[in-house]
Structure formats: structure tokens, C-alpha cells
Amino acid sequence: MTDRGVSDAGITAQITAQLRDQGIADLTVFDAITAEPEMAVVETCRDLFVQHQCDGIIAVGGGSAMDTAKAVAVFVGDERPLSELFGEDQVASRRYPLICLPTTAGTGSEVTNISILADTEAQIKKGIVSNELLPDVAIVAPELTLSCPPSVTAASGIDALVHAVESYLSNFATALTEPYSLAAITKIRASLERAYRQPDDLAAREEMATASLMAGLAFGNAGVGAVHALAYPLGGRYHLSHGMSNAVMFVPVMRWNQAACPGRFVALAHAFGAAPDIRNAEAGEYVLSEIQRLCDAVNIPSQLRAFNIPESALSELALAASGVTRLLRNNPRELSVSDIEDIYREAY
């Protein structure tokens, strides 16, 4: 399972050739995965899996390919509508093996127990959450990210940074997840701009791939917060990519969060390169400025209006985001619908 861009880059052909060299000749390739994974694509691919009597799934691609593959893996053999799998622990046991090979450094989907899909009717993204979605094998090879276009390198890299920061600030962060979060931030700060400007720099690609994996392990256990919650309606209603939606909401949400946990922002500031003696009063603004600097360096727009989202939609977006309680409960600051609308207005 992959997408057309990965196939056109020749990556799919390389992998199928290796499989055939090992005597695995009966392969079915599905490369119609959309940029933002949709329920209809999962249903189509599940039917193809059954039709060809497949016995396993290899996902090659970014978060969309892996999330779609994970959903298909638990949907095969389940007679219920796909909509009944959304939520936490609503799936039956997975029957078929799943291998994930990420071609972007960003989502960490290869090590998480969640699949995010677009519900086009409800115009919002929804999650299937279950340990049954965890792949059996994840192969993280930075060489697979070399063909990644700069715009995708940028959006997926900032997505990984959001995962690292939000997992560190999560109400469910632990002594096991925090080191991964902070190390991922340090690596992304040092290598994202280089990977963006010098796509063939394999050392930068490896640092980003490692950081994405670390951030995935962190948020896969600690969870993410309000940045993601506010990004979901943007993707569902206006089809902004996941990475871009997160990026545009990143600074405005963090500006609201810093008041709730100033001490945590000191540790974040250190990960972003601040001096050891930085004070609480300075740490928040330092982190915000570093996030904004990095977004600017990889040419990611910082305002919602850049994506042709009407200002009149902000109230509706706030109401939709307030319903993403699975993520908002992780956020260090409790947000009302009014707070969320104010954050969207700041981002506008």
C-alpha cells in the first residue's frame, strides 16, 4: 500500500523487486492512497485485499499511507461499518501482519497505535485507537526520504516537532517519554533546515528520521494536545495537510499553554538551544520565537488566511475542535470553546 508519488519516485518498484528476488512473486500494489487518508479509500483497499486473497500488508509512504494501511489491517474481516471502529479500543483483533516503511520524517505512524482518517461527511478527522494497529515491523531507513519534496520535508518535519513538544507538555508525559521528546526537539532544530535546503544530505535525513521516530514513541505513549485538536477541523473542512494544519496552529496554542506550565517551558527552551541559566519569565517567549523561526526557515505560512479560510468560519471551527476531547484532555491548559475561538483568531 502506497501513493502515486512514492510509486513515481521508483521506491515501490525497488521494494517489489526485492520481494520478488526473495521468491514472493504474488504481489498486489495499491497506490491510490490520497494525500489526506479518507474512509472511502480504506473501504476500497479492504475490498481489494479480500478480492486478491492477500495475507499481509506492507505500507510504504508517509503518514497517509501508513494510517490507511493500519486501518485496512484491522478492518479486514470485521463485518461492521468502518465508522464503528472510531474511538478507543473499538476494533477486534488484527489477523494479518503489517510492516511499515516511512518515506517522510514526520508522522511517527510506524510506531503508534492510531490511524487518523478524514470523515468527509462530518468534515472532520477521526481516530481509530487500539494497540492492534501497532505494526509488527517498522523499517526506518533515511534513504527512503531522499526523494521527499522540500515542501513535504518542511511540513512533516514541523509535524514531528509538534509531536515532540506536545508529548513533553502532555498531562500524561512520563519519565520514559520525556527524554525522547526533548532529544527529538534538539535533533529537529539542528537538522530540519539542512534537510529542507539540501535534500541529498543523508546525515540530515538520518537525524530527521531518528527524531521523527523518537517523537512517535513519545506521543504514542504520552499523547498530543490542543495543536492537534485544533488542526483536525482544518484538515477535515479545508483539506489542509496534517503537517501544515499543525504548523499554523503551533505558535498560537503554545502561547496559551505557556502560562499553565512555565517550568516545563524552561526544559523546552534548553532543548531548543537556550542558555542553561534562562529564567521562567524568558523561556516561553524563547520557545515561541524558535518555533516561529524554524517555520519561517522552511517557508511554512504562519496565518490561516494564507490558506483561504474565511474568518466567518472560525466560530464553527472552534465548536468542532472543542469536541476532540480525546486530545484536549492531554493539554496542560483547559480550553473552553471561547478560548479555542480566540486561538483561531490569533492564528488568522
Given a contact cutoff of 8 angstroms between Cβ atoms, the answer to whether 157 and 197 are in contact is: no
Whether residues 162 and 228 fall in one domain:
yes
Whether residues 57 and 125 fall in one domain:
yes
From the centroid of its chain, how far is CA 231?
A: 11
- pLDDT at position 25, please? 87
For the beta sheet containing 114-119, the strands, ordered from the edge strand earlier in sequence to the opposite edge, are: 87-88, 124-129, 114-119
- pLDDT at position 37, please? 85
Whether residues 177 and 316 fall in one domain:
yes
Q: Which CATH number characterizes residue 20's domain? A: 3.40.50.1970
Task: Indicate whether 6 pLDDT > 80.
Answer: yes
Claim: this prediction has a pTM higher than 0.85: yes
Whether residues 119 and 159 fall in one domain:
no
Whether residues 162 and 271 fall in one domain:
yes
Which helix (H) or strand (E) is 182 found in, with range?
A: helix 178-197
- pLDDT at position 214, please? 98
Degrees, nearest 5: CA angle 31-36-37: 65
Task: Indicate whether 81 pLDDT > 90.
Answer: yes
Whether residues 188 and 233 fall in one domain:
yes
- pLDDT at position 105, please? 96
Q: What is the CA radius of gyration of the chain?
A: 19
Lowest mean pLDDT among 117-126, 246-255, 282-291: 117-126
Rounded to whole angstroms, the Cα distance separating 9 from 27 reads 19
Rounded to whole angstroms, the Cα distance separating 263 from 283 reads 8
Task: Indicate whether 123 pLDDT > 80.
Answer: no
Q: Which CATH number characterizes residue 337's domain? A: 1.20.1090.10
**Total domain count, the chain:** 2
Whether residues 134 and 153 fall in one domain:
no
- pLDDT at position 34, please? 85
Whether residues 67 and 154 fall in one domain:
no
Task: Indicate whether 326 pLDDT > 80.
Answer: yes
Last residue of a domain, one of 100, 115, 140: 140
The total number of residues shown for the chain amounts to 348
C-alpha cell at 345: 483568531
> If you average pLDDT over residues 205-232, what whole number do you get?
97
- pLDDT at position 26, please? 93
Of 337, 307, 302, which is closest to residue 319 (Cα–Cα)?
A: 337
What does pLDDT average to over the chain? 95
Confidence of residue 322 (pLDDT cuts 50, 70, 90): very high
Whether residues 12 and 103 fall in one domain:
yes
* Number of alpha helices (DSSP H) and beta strands (DSSP E) in the chain: 14, 6
Task: Indicate whether 162 pLDDT > 90.
Answer: yes
- pLDDT at position 240, please? 87
For 201, residues 6+ apart whose C-beta sits below 8 A from its C-beta are: 194, 195
Of 111, 132, 119, which is closest to residue 66 (Cα–Cα)?
A: 111
Last residue of a domain, one of 106, 140, 174: 140
Whether residues 194 and 95 fall in one domain:
no
> If you average pLDDT over residues 63-83, what whole number do you get?
95
- pLDDT at position 122, please? 78
> If you average pLDDT over residues 113-137, what whole number do you get?
91
- pLDDT at position 180, please? 98
Whether residues 317 and 196 fall in one domain:
yes
- pLDDT at position 277, please? 95
> If you average pLDDT over residues 23-45, what whole number do you get?
92
Q: Which domain holds residue 198?
A: 148-347
> If you average pLDDT over residues 179-206, what whole number do you get?
97
> If you average pLDDT over residues 218-239, what whole number do you get?
94
Whether residues 88 and 165 fall in one domain:
no
Last residue of a domain, one of 86, 112, 140: 140
- pLDDT at position 30, please? 96
Given a contact cutoff of 8 angstroms between Cβ atoms, the answer to whether 7 and 31 are in contact is: yes
> If you average pLDDT over residues 32-48, what whole number do you get?
92
